[in-house]
Amino acid sequence: MKTIFLLPLMLCSILVSAQPDDNGRSNVDANNSANTQVLQSISQNVNQRANLQGSAVFYNPKFDREGSVYLFDRWDNTARVYPKTGGFFTTSNMNFNIQRSMFESKKNDSIKGWNFASIDKISLDGKTFKSYYFEPLKRQVIFEVIFEGEDFSILKKYDIYIQPGNPNPMIGRMRDKVIQRSDYFVDTPTELKEIRFNKRNILDLFSKEKRELAEDYARKYEMSFRDEEDLQKILNFVQHQ
């Protein structure tokens, strides 16, 4: 059984430290009144950051698994963080923990998580991420933004599945395996719902006139509605007509 000891968190805490374990939980509360300059200073100044940290200690069993719960293969990358107060700042060694639906920064053996309480979006490796309330889980979940328009947005939700290992040598899978999966959603002013990522469902989001524009543009430049990069170009073209 997992045993968790939580020490009191300071109300103004932006970062929470945790042991770097795939099954632990780490939380970050960004200061709603903080401006970009304050957030950047905190992210770079160790002494200031320490004064704003709470503490959480987790004891979790270690699992010998193949694969990773992290979306990106490497940690040595730089993310751009956009606070809701405006502006942005950069921070290094960032990755996205799919299991926790949380961005985390790693330094030596320490992993610190970021909460979207006061963050509008995070951009990393050419991808943009935002937090949305996800009704099935009754909580905020981070989605990748494939397209963001005036009438709707196309989002991508990441998830993981643990494929159990089997000691049978004939199967050849001695260890559990982490499998990353993803699903697509459309966000409108009235709902956030899952969709099948295909041409028909995308075109159904448009009026008849815009649907024809999208089809003509895709046909002219030999683009696919099932390719994310092509779809972004198609949707951006239609939006600006």
pLDDT in tens, 25-36: 343 333 333 344
**Judgement on whether residues 45 and 141 belong to the same structural domain of the protein:** yes
**Judgement on whether residues 103 and 213 belong to the same structural domain of the protein:** no
Residue where one domain finishes, among candidates 158, 177, 195 = 195
Q: Are 224 and 218 in contact (CB under 8 A)?
A: yes
**Judgement on whether residues 209 and 165 belong to the same structural domain of the protein:** no
**Judgement on whether residues 182 and 230 belong to the same structural domain of the protein:** no
pLDDT at residue 11 is higher than 90? no
Q: What is the pLDDT at residue 33?
A: 37
Q: What is the pLDDT at residue 234?
A: 96
Stretch 39-56: mean pLDDT, rounded? Answer: 39
**Judgement on whether residues 32 and 146 belong to the same structural domain of the protein:** yes
Stretch 9-33: mean pLDDT, rounded? Answer: 39
Is pLDDT larger for residue 58 or for residue 235? 235
**Judgement on whether residues 31 and 132 belong to the same structural domain of the protein:** yes
Residues making up the chain, counted from first to last: 241
Q: What is the pLDDT at residue 48?
A: 34
**Judgement on whether residues 141 and 235 belong to the same structural domain of the protein:** no
Q: What is the pLDDT at residue 220?
A: 95
pLDDT in tens, 144-194: 999 999 889 999 999 999 988 777 767 666 788 899 999 999 999 999 999
Of the chain, the percentage scoring pLDDT greater than 70 comes to 71
Stretch 9-30: mean pLDDT, rounded? Answer: 39
pLDDT band at 63 (very low <50, low <70, confident <90, very high): low
Total of domains in the chain: 2
**Judgement on whether residues 82 and 176 belong to the same structural domain of the protein:** yes
Q: Are 104 and 91 in contact (CB under 8 A)?
A: no
The pairing of beta strand 94-97 with beta strand 153-163: unpaired
**Judgement on whether residues 98 and 64 belong to the same structural domain of the protein:** yes
**Judgement on whether residues 185 and 203 belong to the same structural domain of the protein:** no
**Closest C-alpha to 82, from 123, 115, 32:** 123
Question: What is the domain range of residue 233?
Answer: 197-241
**Judgement on whether residues 187 and 79 belong to the same structural domain of the protein:** yes
**Judgement on whether residues 89 and 75 belong to the same structural domain of the protein:** yes
